[in-house]
Amino acid sequence: MIFVDESGFSLIPTRIRTWAPKGRTPVVRHCYRWPKFSAISGVSTNGKLYILVRPGTIATKQVLVFLRHLLRHVRGRIIVVWDNINPHKAVSVKRFVQDHRHRLSVEHLPPYSPELNPDEWVWRYLKQVELANFAPLNLHELKVALRGAVQRIRMRPRLMRSFLEASDLSFWPSS
């Protein structure tokens, strides 16, 4: 089972608390430009993170590319669990899932329930911890930082498990 979600990353930093000498307000300088990357990712119940980053926004075409990516990199049967945004419900996505029904099926989360998707916690961690206060000068710098952050997350199995545990779903029996 793989929980899928999308998010965006722009040149405008995510401001998080910081410190400064008393009486001096900290300043995060950035270029006030709006180019961005969008990312689509999936968190599997065994703690794997799959991600594709693209310029612009995530549309039906990028969803199909990500599903192909999962089929190439995940062995066995795949159950994708995601929200109800339009690209997930597109005719071409439904057709693709139908054409690959021997390996791929889709379940939709209830509307307005991000707390059920562990992938939401990945995005929160990336933006509020790994990339907090980061003010890239250009998209290349942003992409390099994002790749590094994703690799650091992948190297921490306990952190990956915490994203699953933080969702309002139950994966393991209570102790």
The residue whose two tokens read 């065994």 is: 46
| Amino acid 94: pLDDT | 98
- At 168, list the tokens: 């309002």
| Amino acid 85: pLDDT | 94
The alpha carbon of residue 127 and the mean position of all alpha carbons in its chain are separated, in whole angstroms, by: 10
More reliable by pLDDT, 131 or 175 = 131
Q: Report pLDDT digits (tens) over 70-127.
A: 999 999 999 999 999 999 999 999 999 999 999 999 999 998 898 999 999 999 999 9
Q: What is the C-alpha separation between 35 and 25, in angstroms, rounded?
A: 27
Question: Exposure string (b/e) for 37-53, b if CB count within 10 Å is 16 or more?
Answer: bbbbbbbbbebebbbbb
| H/E element, 43 | strand 36-44
How confident is residue 18, by pLDDT bands cut at 50, 70 and 90? low
Residue 129 has pLDDT above 60, yes or no: yes
More reliable by pLDDT, 153 or 19 = 153
The CATH class that applies to domain 2-14+30-155 reads: alpha beta
Residues comprising the chain, all counted: 175
* Cβ–Cβ < 8 Å for 41, 51: yes
